[in-house]
Structure 1
Amino acid sequence: MEDSHVERFSASTPKPRVGIDGGDDNKNWRRRVNGVEVSVPIVCGSIAFFRGKKAKEYRTHNWTVYVRGATNEDLGAVIRKVIFHLHPSFKSPTRVVDSPPFTLSECGWGEFKIDITIFFHADACERKLELSHLLKLNPEIYSGPQSPNVPVVTESYNEIVFPDPFECFLSRVINHPAVHVPKLPEGFNLPPPGDAGDESYYKMKKGDTKDHPLSHWFSKFSEADELFKLTATRQKVQADIAELKRQLVMVDVQPEQF
């Protein structure tokens, strides 16, 4: 069972903004590349397996929550750590994952909202990004007893945008498969990667989710597909509005009955 939606975080929308205040731009390695916008597609999601009828009352499901690349690439080039804030009933509900893949597995019985705090490498952005994910354990539509072999998958596609990125960050990620970088201004030359950027990236363990044990359950996302879904939804809303207006006009023109 799957549920998904798309959301884009950008400085042009009233969403959390990233990359807008990185520190002292006077340092050479902190110079910004104006007019360039770097985007990083990510997926926040969870997968929950029913443990069967013999499971203990408060341990009915095994579940995993995660922040992954939309195409399962390593997000460690951009993200330094992720904090998952679980329900207060869990022992040590604040869980820190400081290396990719950014996943967390637990066992429980209830559905709840998981707040997610994403921290970026300093040369990307010194601000953090706050997201949330609703952990779903049960299918939206009941179709018989829940199978332990078929999980409930809930995912949302998001796009983090870094406007006017720092040169050092751009030089690190310009060829990274998880990062979308547009064409640079003609004649512009980036400094060599690693000259002065965030050294924490080079010390970090690398890891993607392509071979993750749950990867075959992941939804497949693409920007084109998401734009198509948004267009179809917008057209349906417009059609519903037009139909409602037509019905209101018909009500207005009907003669009053005494």
Structure 2
Amino acid sequence: MPRDYDIKINRNTMTVMISSGLSKQSRPNQTNAEKPRGLQFKTTNNNSSRKPPAKPPRPSAAKPTKQKKLRALYDFQARSADELSFVADNELLLIDSSDETWWKAELDGKTGVVPSNYVELIRTPIVIIKPILYGNTAKHFGSKRDSDGHTHKWTLYVRSFNNDDLSTYVSKVQFRLHETYPNHTRVITQAPFEVEESGWGEFETQITIFFADPNEKPVAFYHHLKLFSTDPDVVAGTKALVNEHYDELIFQEPSDLLARLLNCAKSLAPPTDENLATEKEYAAKKLDTITHIKDARQRVRNEIQDLTERLRITQENIKRVRQRSIDTNSSIGVFSMLTHDNVKREMVD
């Protein structure tokens, strides 16, 4: 069978040059399914049979598309004026991908077409953040209840900070209560995700959030259910105790299903004045925290500069003291030699 390619061996550099004898019209048309992924072609001196895929047929037309980045999988040497050369691991800017096999790209200010199976798209990491509030409210009965000795009515909850409908992307929330409660593991499958109970003592609760995509790992955290306060109004039962915390659910590279659900979460009924006040309070706390962090960073920078300057001065002082010591020792040595010579002369005389 005749070869449709030539092999040239450079014995000085021990590299192999493989040139195809096929015309552009006769080159095989590889589809995306045939593109090798995650491989890098490197010729060696052991006549390896692995080589990059054949160049696909050229595109007939180009349509503009949104620019993205590409990563080169193999070295590619242009063989015509409209092609673009690159080496493995180069990052190119995608200009047009309307053709399945030849894409137009840019590298170092130069543009040209490249075989699509020599490159791969660089995905931009997707991060979606959903702020939540979790905690409990508690209200004193005013006196101990005779039937069970309970003193407070409390509500344990998880809700959206922005008043979004959590049930859009949350399938259920599990609340693990104290073991003395009947059915101490409560599972809530629809909003509002909360548990109402009564009791007389504080305890640690575990809250686990399960998502609509079963492949997404559940998020579990703890909350100390608080009942007692030193506020006179709370003690008297005229005011509810609120023990609430702000947190964020951070989804990195969520599945397509979960990403759609996260982005289409609808708002519930307009928030009440109490919710708006709470959100403003947390927004103020957030700004205050950011300010404190910036101030702390500036203090650290100032301390570093101060310590650096003090270290420089100390090093200069040490250097001067050492030089002074060397000069003193030299002077003492010269004085000793002169004294010794004078003594010898006096003895001779």
Task: Provide TM-score, normalisation by structure 2.
Answer: 0.45
Correspondence for 2:286 among 222, 227, 239: 227
Q: Cα distance 1:94–1:209, how it changes in 2: closer, same or farther (>3 A)?
A: farther
* Unaligned segments of structure 2, at least 5 residues: 1-122, 302-349
Tell whether the 8 Å contact from 1:153 to 1:217 is kept in structure 2 after alignment: no
Larger gyration radius, structure 1 or structure 2: 2
Residue aligning to 2:106: none
Residue aligning to 1:199: none
Q: How much has 1:175 moved relative to structure 2?
A: 3.6
Helix, strand or coil at the partner of 2:167: coil
Distance 1:132 1:221 in 2: 25
More RCO (CA 8 Å, sep 6+): 1
Q: How much has 1:78 moved relative to structure 2?
A: 1.6
Q: Cα distance 1:215–1:145, how it changes in 2: closer, same or farther (>3 A)?
A: closer
Matches within 5 A, 1:103-252: 103-122=194-213, 125-139=215-229, 141-143=230-232, 146-177=235-266, 208=268, 219-220=278-279, 224-234=283-293
Distance 2:163 2:263 in 1: 18
Residue aligning to 2:117: none
Tell whether the 8 Å contact from 1:52 to 1:148 is kept in structure 2 after alignment: yes
Distance 1:94 1:128 in 2: 16
Residue aligning to 1:16: none
Letter in 1 for 2:289: L
Q: Cα distance 1:166–1:239, how it changes in 2: closer, same or farther (>3 A)?
A: closer
The question of 1:63 aligning with 2:154 is answered yes
Tell whether the 8 Å contact from 1:68 to 1:209 is kept in structure 2 after alignment: no
Q: How much has 1:68 moved relative to structure 2?
A: 0.2
% identical aligned pairs: 28
Letter in 1 for 2:169: V
Aligned-residue RMSD, C-alpha: 3.6
Q: How much has 1:219 moved relative to structure 2?
A: 2.5
Residue aligning to 2:54: none
Letter in 2 for 1:97: I
Task: Provide TM-score, normalisation by structure 1.
Answer: 0.59
Q: Cα distance 1:53–1:161, how it changes in 2: closer, same or farther (>3 A)?
A: same
Q: Specify which structure has the higher proportion of helix.
A: 2
Query: Residues 66-113 of structure 1, C-alpha deviation per residue, up to 9 Å, x if partnerless?
Result: 000102221011211011010111111111111111010000010111
Letter in 2 for 1:88: E
Distance 1:228 1:211 in 2: 22
Q: Cα distance 1:113–1:227, how it changes in 2: closer, same or farther (>3 A)?
A: same
Q: How much has 1:166 moved relative to structure 2?
A: 1.8
The question of 1:50 aligning with 2:135 is answered no
Q: How much has 1:148 moved relative to structure 2?
A: 1.8
Residue aligning to 1:93: 184
Q: How much has 1:228 moved relative to structure 2?
A: 1.4
Helix, strand or coil at the partner of 2:168: coil
Distance 1:136 1:66 in 2: 13
Letter in 1 for 2:278: S
Q: How much has 1:234 moved relative to structure 2?
A: 3.6
* Unaligned segments of structure 1, at least 5 residues: 1-32, 179-207, 243-258
Tell whether the 8 Å contact from 1:155 to 1:219 is kept in structure 2 after alignment: no
Tell whether the 8 Å contact from 2:172 to 2:209 is kept in structure 1 after alignment: yes
Q: How much has 1:143 moved relative to structure 2?
A: 3.7
Residue aligning to 2:164: 73
Distance 1:235 1:85 in 2: 38
Helix, strand or coil at the partner of 1:146: helix
Count of aligned residue pairs for this structure pair: 182
Helix, strand or coil at the partner of 1:43: strand
Q: How much has 1:55 moved relative to structure 2?
A: 3.2
Tell whether the 8 Å contact from 1:70 to 1:221 is kept in structure 2 after alignment: no
Q: Cα distance 1:70–1:39, how it changes in 2: closer, same or farther (>3 A)?
A: same
Helix, strand or coil at the partner of 2:278: coil
Distance 1:177 1:221 in 2: 21
Residue aligning to 2:78: none
Tell whether the 8 Å contact from 2:174 to 2:188 is kept in structure 1 after alignment: yes
Distance 1:64 1:113 in 2: 14
Distance 2:236 2:264 in 1: 42
Q: How much has 1:235 moved relative to structure 2?
A: 6.3
Q: Cα distance 1:51–1:133, how it changes in 2: closer, same or farther (>3 A)?
A: same
Helix, strand or coil at the partner of 2:265: coil
